[in-house]
């Protein structure tokens, strides 16, 4: 699915070599400032980041040469810590434009949109509300989850999706993510929240460092919770 070799973002981290396989869930952890958010945003081609070097291949394509929209069309999706608000564009209109829904498909897609929104505890008129306008942090995170679920996402990279969510929100988030992840797609989650990590049952836990990355299983996360990052 996604292979990184000696992947480096200048002055942030260097020489990260990782393979993310289809059908698996990965959790990325790391100390503050190590570059966890930078990693996933650089993979999505976010403008304004330091120079990237090394290899990043997604489904056979060298994504370092692609613009952000081209990466999105390949099936890459990134969820932000602070999602953007867009007045004048409704939540469902955003999905419709992003996915190219045909007129004959609107009713069915709207029903699915409202079903997911209801499961996440969002208001009945969520489809009509402006994109992330007058929404709480938790509602914005839930809205990103709807976007990911309704798009043709093959690789989802979520940056602290638990931020702003209460206990029920975390449970709904975990359930939806586990239901979404199949043998055909890949989930990468940046988080330090133990309940979310345990609930996701990740196939691998990755600890990003300044000069590479450690890869382990759930026990690696447990060790960090007990001993901190200095203990690994």
Which spans in 66-136 are helix H?
A: 68-74, 91-99, 106-119
Model pLDDT for residues 117-172, shown as the tens digit of each residue: 888 888 888 888 777 677 777 787 788 788 787 777 899 999 888 877 788 888 88
193 — pLDDT class (breaks 50, 70, 90): confident
> What's the gap between Cα 191 and its chain centre?
10
Give me the number of domains the chain comprises.
1
Residue 135: inside a domain, yes or no?
no
Residue 142: inside a domain, yes or no?
no
Residue 125: inside a domain, yes or no?
no
User: What are the two backbone dihedrals, phi and then psi, of residue 106, each rounded to the nearest 5 degrees?
Assistant: -60, -50
> What's the gap between Cα 133 and its chain centre?
21
83 — pLDDT class (breaks 50, 70, 90): low
Q: What percent of the chain has pLDDT above 90?
A: 41
Residue 197: inside a domain, yes or no?
yes
Residue 186: inside a domain, yes or no?
yes
98 — pLDDT class (breaks 50, 70, 90): low
> Average model confidence (pLDDT) for the chain?
86
| Residue with the larger pLDDT of the pair 193 and 62 | 62
| Residue with the larger pLDDT of the pair 104 and 170 | 170
In terms of residue numbers, what domain contains 52? Answer: 2-90+154-231
pLDDT at 81 over 60: no
Residue 101: inside a domain, yes or no?
no
Relative to beta strand 186-190, strand 25-29 is parallel
Spatial separation of the C-alpha atoms in residues 161 and 170, rounded to whole Å: 9
- Nearest CA to 92 out of 70, 69, 125 is that of 125
How many Cβ atoms sit within 10 Å of the Cβ of residue 214?
14
pTM of the model: 0.82
CATH number at residue 159: 3.40.50.300
Model pLDDT for residues 1-44, shown as the tens digit of each residue: 999 999 999 989 999 999 999 999 999 999 999 999 999 999 99
Residue 104: inside a domain, yes or no?
no
Cα torsion 52, 57, 63, 65: sign: positive
Give me the pLDDT at residue 24, please.
96
Residue 111: inside a domain, yes or no?
no
């Amino acid at each position: 699915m996604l292979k990184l070799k000696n992947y480096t973002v200048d002055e942030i981290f260097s020489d990260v070599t990782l393979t993310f396989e289809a059908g698996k869930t990965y959790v990325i952890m790391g100390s503050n400032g190590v570059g966890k958010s930078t990693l996933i945003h650089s993979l999505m081609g976010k403008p304004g980041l330091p120079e990237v070097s090394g290899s990043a291949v997604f489904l056979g394509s060298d994504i370092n040469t692609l613009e952000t929209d081209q990466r999105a069309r390949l099936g890459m999706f990134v969820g932000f810590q602070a999602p953007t608000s867009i007045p004048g564009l409704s939540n469902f209109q955003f999905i419709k434009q992003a996915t190219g829904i045909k007129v004959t498909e609107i009713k069915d897609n709207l029903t699915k949109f409202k079903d997911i929104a209801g499961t996440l505890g969002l208001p009945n008129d969520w489809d009509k509300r402006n994109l992330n306008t007058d929404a709480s942090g938790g509602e914005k995170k839930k809205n990103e989850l709807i976007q990911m679920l309704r798009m043709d996402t093959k690789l989802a990279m979520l940056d602290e999706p638990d931020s702003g969510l209460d206990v029920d929100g975390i449970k709904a988030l975990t359930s939806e993510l586990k239901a979404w992840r199949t043998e055909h797609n890949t989930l990468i989650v940046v988080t330090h929240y133990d309940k979310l990590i345990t609930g996701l049952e990740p196939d691998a836990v990755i600890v990003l460092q300044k000069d590479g990355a450690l890869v382990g299983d759930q026990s690696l996360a447990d060790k960090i919770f007990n001993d901190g990052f200095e203990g690994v």
